[in-house]
Amino acid sequence: MSRLETGRRTAAPEPSAAPASDEAVPVIVSTNLTVGYKLHRERKRLTALRDISLTVNAGEFVVLVGPSGCGKTTFINAIAGIVEPWEGSIEVNGRPVTGPGPDRAMVFQDYALMPWRTVESNIRMPFELQDLGISKEEMDERVRRYIDLVDLTGFEKSFPYELSGGMKQRVGIARALVSEPDILLADEPFAAIDAMTREAMQGELERFVAKTGQTVVFITHSIDEAITLGDRIAVISYRPGRIKEIVDVDLPRPRFDHDVKSLPEYSELRDHIWRLVKDEALQSAYGDTR
Ligand SMILES: Nc1ncnc2c1ncn2[C@@H]1O[C@H](COP(=O)(O)OP(=O)(O)O)[C@@H](O)[C@H]1O
Ligand SMILES: [Mg+2]
C-alpha cells in the first residue's frame, strides 16, 4: 500500500479513524457519462461512450481495455477536459471538469516530442504552457529530478532523433511528471515500443508511480500489460462504449520483481479478461452489425 501512503490528502484523520492509507479518496468520478461527436459531413451525431460510471481513487492505477473505436481515448479526453460530456458528469477532485489543468497530464503513444528541442527543453515545456507559481530554481530542480527518475541523466542535451523509442517515451513520461500532476493519463504509451523494452518500461512506470503516488488512468490493447500494471481493469464494450466489467487485480507489487506471470491467478485473470474482450474485438474487426 506504499502508493496510497504517498497519496495527497488534506484533512487530518480522526484519532479513532482507520489509518489514512486505507481510506479510499475519490479523485476521478465519472457518473453516467455519455460523450460523442457531431459528424458534420454526415449531419449526424455519433455516441462514442455511453453511461460510464467509474470512480478512480487517489493512488489507484486503473487500466482501460477494449476494442479499437470503443471510446477509450474519448474517456481520457473527457477527464483531460478536451471533450465535453453530452450527458452525465465528470469530476476531478470534487469539481466538474471544465477544461485542461495542471492537475492532469498526458502521456501519448507517439511521444509528441518537439524534434527541435533537446531532452531537457522538451521536459521543461509544461512550465512554458502554464503558470504553476513556482520559482525558476524549483523548475530547474524538478527538471533535473525527473530526468534522473527516468534514467536520462547524461542525455539532457540530446535531441529526440538521437534516442531509442523507449528513451523517447521516458522523455514523454518525465514531461508529464514535471508539473507534478495528481493524475497521469496515458493513452497506449508503450504501443510503439518493441516488446522487450516495453516490459522494462512497464516495470519503470510501476516504480515511478509508486514513488510519486499519482493516480493513473492507462489505456492499452495488451491484456498482459493491463494485468501487469493495473489495480483494476475496466473492460469497455464495442461502440458506443460501456463498461462491461471492472476486474480487480489482486497480485503482489512490485509486479515486475515478483514475476507475477508465473502465478496461477495471473492466467486465470488473463483467461477471464480475454473472454470479456474477445467478442468485442471480433465485432470491432468485422464491423458494427447492430
Ligand atoms: N474528433 C472526432 N470526431 C468524430 N468522431 C470521433 C472523434 N474522435 C473519435 N471519434 C469516434 O469516436 C469513437 C471512439 O473513438 P476513440 O475514443 O478514439 O476510441 P478508442 O480510443 O477506444 O479507439 C470512434 O468511432 C471514433 O471514430
Ligand atoms: Mg484510442
Residue 96, pLDDT > 90, answer: yes
Distance CA 277, CA 196 (A): 24
For ligand 1, whether the C-beta of 32 sits within 6 Å is no
Domain that includes residue 34, residue range: 1-8+24-100+225-290
Ligand 1 centroid distance, CA of 122 (Å): 28
Mean pLDDT value of segment 222-229: 95
Going from the C-alpha of 132 to that of each of 128, 135, 144, the distances in angstroms are 9, 9, 17
| Residue-wise pLDDT tens digits, 168-224 | 989 998 999 898 899 999 999 988 888 888 888 899 889 889 988 999 999 999 999
Q: Residue 15 — very low, low, confident or very high, per pLDDT cuts 50/70/90?
A: very low
* Grid cell in block for residue 190: 508503450
In this prediction, residue 196 carries a pLDDT of 83
| Residue-wise pLDDT tens digits, 62-89 | 999 999 899 999 999 999 999 999 999 9
Going from the C-alpha of 39 to that of each of 25, 44, 48, 51, 93, the distances in angstroms are 38, 5, 12, 20, 32
In this prediction, residue 250 carries a pLDDT of 94
In this prediction, residue 5 carries a pLDDT of 39
Burial label, 21 (beta-carbon count in 10 A; 0-12, 13-18, 19+) = middle
In this prediction, residue 7 carries a pLDDT of 37
Ligand 2 centroid distance, CA of 74 (Å): 7
For ligand 1, whether the C-beta of 57 sits within 6 Å is no
How many residues comprise the chain?
290
Concatenate the DSSP letters of all residues of 132-143 into one string. Answer: ----HHHHHHHH
**Total domains, the chain:** 1
Residue type, 171: V
Residue 55 located in a structural domain: yes
Percent of the chain with pLDDT over 70: 91
Distance CA 30, CA 88 (A): 8
- Going by the DSSP 8-state scheme, the letter that residue 25 receives in this structure is -
Residue 205 located in a structural domain: no
- Give the ligand at the shortest distance from the Cα of 47: 1
In this prediction, residue 9 carries a pLDDT of 36
In this prediction, residue 288 carries a pLDDT of 55
* Residue 214 CB partners (closer than 8 Å, separation 6+): 59, 177, 181, 182, 183, 184
More confident residue, 90 or 13: 90
Instruction: Give this prediction's pTM.
Output: 0.87
**Residue 265 belongs to domain with CATH number:** 3.40.50.300
- Give the ligand at the shortest distance from the Cα of 71: 1
Residue 88 located in a structural domain: yes
Provide the mean pLDDT of the chain.
88
Residue 137 located in a structural domain: no
In this prediction, residue 287 carries a pLDDT of 66
Residue 253 located in a structural domain: yes
Mean pLDDT value of segment 38-61: 93
Ligand 2 centroid distance, CA of 71 (Å): 7
Q: Considering only CA atoms, which residue is closest to atom 4 of ligand 1?
A: 37
For ligand 1, whether the C-beta of 71 sits within 6 Å is yes
Helix H or strand E segment including 284? helix 264-286
Residue 38 located in a structural domain: yes
CB atoms under 10 Å from CB of 205, counted, come to: 26
Among candidates 204, 244, 248, which has minimal Cα distance to 227?
248
Phi and psi at residue 138, to the nearest 5°:
-65, -40
For ligand 1, whether the C-beta of 239 sits within 6 Å is yes
Residue 2, pLDDT > 90, answer: no
For ligand 1, whether the C-beta of 234 sits within 6 Å is no
Q: Residue 20 — very low, low, confident or very high, per pLDDT cuts 50/70/90?
A: low
Residue 199 located in a structural domain: no
Residue 181 located in a structural domain: no
Distance CA 166, CA 169 (A): 5
